[in-house]
Amino acid sequence: MGSELMQPVMTKDELTEFIAREMPQVKDDFVIDRIGPMEADVRMPVAYRHLRPGGTVSGPTMFTLADLGVYVAILAMIGPKALTVTTNATIDFMRKPEADADLLCKVKILKLGRALAVVDGLLYSEGNEAPVARVNMTYSIPPKG
């Protein structure tokens, strides 16, 4: 696809509207902070429902934000293909996230092909430079048509 020269084809507003329409159950759980060529930054305002015993953000919450961040980054580059899906995911939990800070996910698309996208991401507690988790995900892109 010549992905190194590609620019996003969807804006933050278009992606936000798409998520609200196609996945209304999660539309209020996150905010798209930035879309760039082959990149996206997404935020989740942490609430009580995101916490696990011990007063930290739960692993499923971190995974959800990472998965949404990757989905948004890919759709920004390929357009509104709702059936773009996760085919592989790895997450390394490295530090305890702050329960009173937004959770941030910064993703970078490493390869964007016709059928697959490979993406890396780092999750942070807002205000802390040390990542709390690292993700690597592969997504399947539906064929044109």
| Count of the separate structural domains present in the chain | 1
Confidence of residue 85 (pLDDT cuts 50, 70, 90): very high
How do 56-57 and 103-112 pair as beta strands? unpaired
Does a structural domain hold residue 49?
A: yes
pTM of the predicted protein model: 0.94
pLDDT digits (tens, 9 = 90+) for 16-29: 999 999 999 999 99
Look up the domain containing 10 and give its range: 3-140
List Cα–Cα distances, 117 to 25, 67, 69, 139, in angstroms. Answer: 25, 13, 13, 5
pLDDT digits (tens, 9 = 90+) for 70-83: 999 999 999 999 99
Q: What is the pLDDT of residue 5?
A: 64
pLDDT digits (tens, 9 = 90+) for 95-122: 999 999 999 999 999 999 999 999 999 9
| CATH number of the domain bearing residue 66 | 3.10.129.10
Does a structural domain hold residue 135?
A: yes
Does a structural domain hold residue 145?
A: no
Could you give the CA distance from residue 62 to residue 59 in angstroms, rounded to a whole number?
A: 5
